[in-house]
Structure 1
Amino acid sequence: MTSFISHTSIDCADAYTLCRWWQAVLDYVEDPDDPSGPGQDECMILSRDRTHRLLFIEVPDSKKVKNRVHFDLRPVEGSREAEVARLIELGASPVDDRRNPNGSGWMVLADPEGNEFCVLSGTAEAGGVA
C-alpha cells in the first residue's frame, strides 16, 4: 500500500487573495467543482492538466519563521531574471539572492504573506531540464 499527495495546503491569513496571487504566478485555474470567492476560508486552484492542486486555508496565527517546505519554480519560457521581475511586479518580495555569476543558483522570494519560494534558472538556461 502507498499514498499519493492529494494536494498541497498553504496556511494563510486571506485564502482568496493568496489563492488568486498564486493562480496568476502558476497559470492555474479555479476548481470548477468548488469555485472560490472573497471571504471563503478555503480556496483551491488546479494546474491546467489537473495533476496538481493547491489549497489555501485561513488560520488565525501568522507566519513567524522560515518555511520548512517551499516551492522551487522554474520558468517555462524565458529567463530566471525575467521571471523574478514578473513575480516582483505581481507582489513578491526579494528575500535572498543565491544567484551565481555563472548562471547557476536561485533567487529566494516571498509571496504577499511572507511564504518563501525559490526561482531557478529557466528551462532553456538549465539545458532543457524540466
Structure 2
Amino acid sequence: MTSFISHTTVDCADAFTLSRWWQAVLDYVEDPDDPNESGHEECMIYSRDGQHRLLFIDVPDPKQVKNRIHFDVRPVEGSRDDELARLIGLGATTVADRRNPDGTGWVVLADPEGNEFCILRSNAEVAAGRP
C-alpha cells in the first residue's frame, strides 16, 4: 500500500487573490464547474494537463518564518532572467540572488504573501550549458 500527493496546499490570507497570482505564474486553470470567486476560503487551480493541483486556503495566522517546503519553478520558454523579470512584473519580490558568475544558480523570490520560491534556469539553458 502506498499514498500519492493529491494536491499541494498553500495557507494564505486571501485564497482567491493568491490563487489568481499563481494561476498567472504557472498558466494553470480552474475547474469550470467550480470556479474560484472572491471571498472563497478555498480556491483550487490545476495544471492544464490536470496532473498537478494547488489548493489555496484562507487561514487567520500570518506567515512568520521561512518556508520549510517551497516551489522551484523553471521557465517553459525563454531564459531564467526573462522569467525573473516577468515574475517581478507580476508582483514577486527578490529575497536572495543565488546566481553565480558562470550563470548557474537560482533566485529566491517571494509571492505577494511572502511565500518563498525559487526560479531556476530553463531546461534549454541547462541542456545548452549556457549560463
Runs of 4+ in structure 1 off by over 4 angstroms are none
Query: Could you tell me how far 1:99 is from its partner in structure 2?
Result: 0.3
Give the letter aligned to residue 46 of structure 1: Y
In the alignment of these two chains, the number of paired residues is 128
Percent of aligned pairs with the same amino acid: 73
More helix by share: 2
Matched, 1:67 2:67: yes
TM-score (norm 1): 0.96
Greater strand share, structure number: 1
Q: Once the two structures are superposed, what CA deviation does each residue of 1:13-62 show, in whole Å capped at 9, x if it has no partner? A: 00000000000000000122321100000000000000000000000000
Aligned to 2:10: 10
Q: Structure 1 residue 123: deviation in Å?
A: 1.5
CA RMSD, Structure 1 to Structure 2 (Å): 0.8
Q: What runs of 5+ residues in structure 2 fail to find an aligned partner?
A: none
Letter of the 1:77 counterpart: E
In structure 1, the residue matched to 2:110 is 110
Measured in 1, the distance between the counterparts of 2:101 and 2:30 equals: 39
TM (norm. structure 2) is 0.96
Question: 5+ residue gaps in structure 1?
Answer: none
